[in-house]
């Protein structure tokens, strides 16, 4: 119902980025329904199921130009307290169906409150490498202590480990030492020691224990993925992923740096939420694999430099200021317990090295997975995420850079953008003559026309790429990205002063209204892709490269996009399409490889220092390249491999 005289307030939902002005007094649940945000409401909003829990952002969030306050909602009711614990209440949790809006708010919808669980966007890719984990299990049988030989337990274990495994100068974790006597006696002097890097005993278990596990984590700006691996077989036994909860405090790296700088407890908050999320993912993965958290003996982490710093608790302030230097380049080994992570008590976390302020451990992960430094072909690696990272080169020279693409490629900040979950439009085809649209929707089989009712609820990143590429090929969009106003089709229209093209009519959706791609959506994609393309062009010039032999699209999103659509909109320069590969989450693969092979950790440190970082945004030519790259596919550059399509 519309309330004409009511005051309106700005509501921004995260991680979808959907924003809108909502009548005062409406509930958050009503707002989510109006804005097509995916939110559970099993009891239909009667505050009896507790499924609609959301978290309210607190503070002045510059990036969104909003002052979000918990007091901007109606006071918490007794009915809510049945589902919202005291701890959660302090953390800003509310039931969306009970909390009424009386001021501007940012609302974060946690994974468990979304109707559709995200499909695992970052599945592990099969890659070949030697199994040589940092932790090995060493079983020994000790001679029991006697009055004649009363040597101490630790020295006894140390001597046996030297004798059997050649391990010298071993140390023992303090907490493990505290329980060593007990473990030895419970095992009747038979014990399995888990030894880290041939240096330190990080776990001691009675009797023979063969299996040990490790977890590789990729902390993306928008998504976090965890791969639980069996250290004895290298097999991935469970994969879990979720949104990065820091999204609530800023959707990109710069806004998180600002949040950490401008809020007294900013760094602490950002660190706390990511550690909490990782603990949850690891717990879920352990349950899935049927193991105990204490069986997890090692962890490797990749992420861009800002995510890395926030995770380990380092102030990211200097990443946001020239010369943008990180706190450290080298890899880092920290006790998991010191970071607040609940795995084996003595276990370490290994954070991969960092290349530069804006090219982080995630890119090093991509490098050790793809190994461009061992190839003679000229390779371009594009890691598509909220923060795009680029690598160009081969065995002779490697350069890297980064560009702020924003979350548009992940479906956020696009009016009907959504995650790659059931109901999302993932593929689009447009007939160049009739301008009729065919869709593919996640969770529904086959293609759908306007006569079908596939129940779409939004468009995910790959759908947006397809939609824009197809709109361009069908003459709906001009090279400049503007809509072609000469077109006569009811799908092209103006709503609230904004031109938009209807991708799915209301009868094809589950949200009760049309799903469109607006001029602002097209602009958001243009800005992101132009930033990428301009970056690549400058790098190509720096290396004097004539042509690209191979383009690798990395990043979970990269494996879903249609490479032809990506080239049509001009995400990267011309290349034979058969030489464009989507390799999935290569950063996560790199974390997994480093988890399972210590030599790769060494290689990672070497390559991180070898690859040369190029700052592109300060390049005098960046602006010009960027403007040219705003066009589809480009203002001037030829695309011989698309000749047939582009005419």
Sole binder of ligand FES in the list 20, 25, 50, 443 (CB under 6 A): 50
Tell which positions 329-358 bind ligand FES, by CB under 6 A: none
- Of these, 11, 12, 31, 47, which contacts ligand FES (CB under 6 A)? 47
Nearest to 279 by CA among 249, 256, 245, 247: 245
Stretch touching ligand FES by CB under 6 A, among 36-44, 107-115, 349-357, 397-405 = 36-44
Closest distance between ligand FES and the C-beta of residue 114, in Å?
13
**Cα–Cα distance, 337 to 343 (Å, whole number):** 8
Q: Give me the least distance between CB of 57 and ligand FES, in Å please.
A: 19
Q: Which stretch binds ligand FES (CB under 6 A): 44-52, 123-131, 364-372, 529-537?
A: 44-52
User: CB–CB of 291/280 below 8 Å?
Assistant: no
> How many Cβ atoms from other residues are within 10 Å of residue 3's Cβ?
11
Which C-beta is closer to ligand FES: that of 47 or that of 593?
A: 47
Q: Which of 369, 337, 111 is nearest to 218 (CA)?
A: 369
Report the residue number, 112 or 431, with the smaller CB distance to ligand FES.
112
Longest CA span, the chain: 100
Stretch that binds ligand FES, among 38-46, 57-65, 191-199, 420-428 (CB under 6 A): 38-46
Nearer to ligand FES among residue 47 and residue 595 (C-beta): 47
By CB under 6 A, tell whether 52 contacts ligand FES. yes
**What minimum distance in Å lies between the beta carbon of 46 and ligand FES?**
6
Give the up-direction half-sphere exposure of residue 593: CA atoms within 13 A in the CB hemisphere.
28
Minimum separation from the CB atom of position 42 to ligand FES (A): 6
Alpha helices in 166-236 (DSSP H): 174-186
| CB nearer ligand FES, residue 48 or residue 279 | 48
Interface characters, 222-241, with ligand FES (x: CB under 6 A): --------------------
Distance CA 113, CA 38 (A): 8
* Phi, psi angles (nearest 5°) of residue 129: -165, 165
Using DSSP, state whether 223 is helix, strand or coil: strand
72-131 residues in contact with ligand FES (CB under 6 A) are 95, 97
Among residue numbers 268 through 307, which ones bind ligand FES (CB under 6 A)? none
Could you give the CA distance from residue 641 to residue 633 in angstroms, rounded to a whole number?
12
Phi, psi of 335 (to 5 degrees): -65, 135
Q: How far is CA 634 from the centre of its chain?
A: 28
Count Cβ atoms within 10 A of the Cβ of residue 25 and give its class: 0-12 exposed, 13-18 middle, 19 or more buried: middle
We find the least distance from the C-beta atom of residue 48 to ligand FES, in angstroms, to be 6
- For ligand FES, the closer of residues 47 and 273 by Cβ is 47
* Least Å from the CB of residue 91 to ligand FES: 18
CB 331 within 8 A of CB 604: yes
Residues near ligand FES (CB under 6 A), total: 12
Binding piece for ligand FES, criterion CB under 6 A, among 43-51, 274-282, 371-379, 497-505: 43-51
305, 326 Cβ separation under 8 angstroms: yes
Based on CB atoms, which residue is closest to ligand FES, 50 or 103? 50
Residue number, 52 or 614, with CB nearest to ligand FES: 52
Among 8, 49, 318, 399, binds ligand FES (CB under 6 A): 49
Run of H or E including 179: helix 174-186
Footprint on residues 460-489 left by ligand FES (CB under 6 A): none
The nearest distance, CB 419 to ligand FES, in angstroms, is: 20
Rounded to the nearest whole angstrom, what is the least distance from the CB of residue 96 to ligand FES in the complex?
6
Nearest to 425 by CA among 404, 452, 388: 452
Instruction: Identify whether the C-beta of residue 530 lies closer than 8 Å to the C-beta of residue 626.
Output: yes
Name the pairing type of β-strands 437-441 and 550-554.
unpaired
Which of the stretches 50-58, 225-233, 468-476, 537-545 binds ligand FES when contact is defined by CB under 6 A? 50-58
Residues 391 and 625: their CA atoms lie apart, in Å, by 18
Among 20, 45, 110, 206, binds ligand FES (CB under 6 A): 45
Helix (H) or strand (E) holding 213: strand 213-219
Gyration radius from the chain CA atoms: 26
15 preceded by a cis bond (ω within 30 of 0): yes
Q: Among 35-43, 165-173, 290-298, 345-353, which window interacts with ligand FES (CB under 6 A)? A: 35-43
Residues near ligand FES, by CB under 6 A: 41-43, 45, 47-52, 95, 97
């Amino acid at each position: 119902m519309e309330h004409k005289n009511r005051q309106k307030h700005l509501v921004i939902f995260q991680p979808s980025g959907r924003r809108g002005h909502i009548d005062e007094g409406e509930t958050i649940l009503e707002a989510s329904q109006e804005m097509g945000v995916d939110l559970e409401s099993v009891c239909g909003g009667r505050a009896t199921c507790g499924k609609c829990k959301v978290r309210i952002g607190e503070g002045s969030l510059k990036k969104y130009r909003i002052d979000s306050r918990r007091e901007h909602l109606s006071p918490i009711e007794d009915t809510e307290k049945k589902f919202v614990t005291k701890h959660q209440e302090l953390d800003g949790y509310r039931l969306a169906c009970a909390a009424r809006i009386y001021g501007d708010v940012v609302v974060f919808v946690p994974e468990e409150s979304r109707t559709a669980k995200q499909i695992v966007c970052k599945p592990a890719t099969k890659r070949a490498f030697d199994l040589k984990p940092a932790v090995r299990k060493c079983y020994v049988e000790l001679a029991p202590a006697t009055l004649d030989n009363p040597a101490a337990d630790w020295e006894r274990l140390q001597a046996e480990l030297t004798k059997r495994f050649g391990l010298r100068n071993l140390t023992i974790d303090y907490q493990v030492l505290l329980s060593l006597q007990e473990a030895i006696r419970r095992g009747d002097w038979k014990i399995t020691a888990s030894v880290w890097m041939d240096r330190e005993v990080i776990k001691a278990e009675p009797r023979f224990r063969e299996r040990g596990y490790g977890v590789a984590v990729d902390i993306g700006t928008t998504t976090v993925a965890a791969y639980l691996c069996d250290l004895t077989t290298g097999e991935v036994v469970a994969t879990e992923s979720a949104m990065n909860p820091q999204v609530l405090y800023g959707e990109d790296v710069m806004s998180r740096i600002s949040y950490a700088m401008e809020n007294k407890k900013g760094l602490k908050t950002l660190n706390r939420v990511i550690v909490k999320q990782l603990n949850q993912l690891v717990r879920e993965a352990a349950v899935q694999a049927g193991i105990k958290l204490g069986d997890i003996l090692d962890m490797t982490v990749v992420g861009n430099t800002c995510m890395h710093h926030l995770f380990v608790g380092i102030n990211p302030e200097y990443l946001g200021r020239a010369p943008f230097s990180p706190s450290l380049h080298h890899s880092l080994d920290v006790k998991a317990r010191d970071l607040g992570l609940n795995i084996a008590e003595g276990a370490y976390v290994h954070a991969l090295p960092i290349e530069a302020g804006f090219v982080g451990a995630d890119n090093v992960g991509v490098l050790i997975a793809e190994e461009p430094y061992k190839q003679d072909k000229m390779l371009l690696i594009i890691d598509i995420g909220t923060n795009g990272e680029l690598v160009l080169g081969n065995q002779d020279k490697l350069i890297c850079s980064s560009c702020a693409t924003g979350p548009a490629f992940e479906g956020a900040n696009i009016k009907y953008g959504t995650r790659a979950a059931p109901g999302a439009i993932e593929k689009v085809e447009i007939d160049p003559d009739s301008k009729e649209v065919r869709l593919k929707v996640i969770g529904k089989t086959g293609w759908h026309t306007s006569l079908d009712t596939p129940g779409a609820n939004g468009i995910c990143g790959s759908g947006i790429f397809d939609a824009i590429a197809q709109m361009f090929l069908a003459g709906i969009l001009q090279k400049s990205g503007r809509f072609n106003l000469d077109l006569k089709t009811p799908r092209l229209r103006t709503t609230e002063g904004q031109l938009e093209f209807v991708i799915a009519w209301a009868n094809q959706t589950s949200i009760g209204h049309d799903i469109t791609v607006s001029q602002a959506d097209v602009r958001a994609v243009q800005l992101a892709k132009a930033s990428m393309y301009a970056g690549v062009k400058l790098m190509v010039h720096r290396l004097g490269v004539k042509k690209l032999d191979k383009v690798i699209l990395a990043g979970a999103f990269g494996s879903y996009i249609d490479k032809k659509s990506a080239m049509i909109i001009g995400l990267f320069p011309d290349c034979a399409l058969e030489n464009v590969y989507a390799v999935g989450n290569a950063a996560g693969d790199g974390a997994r490889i480093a988890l399972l092979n210590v030599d790769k950790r060494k290689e990672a440190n070497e390559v991180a220092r070898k690859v040369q970082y190029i700052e592109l945004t300060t390049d005098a030519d960046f602006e010009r390249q960027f403007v040219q790259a705003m066009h589809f596919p480009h203002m001037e550059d030829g695309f011989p491999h698309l000749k047939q399509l582009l005419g």
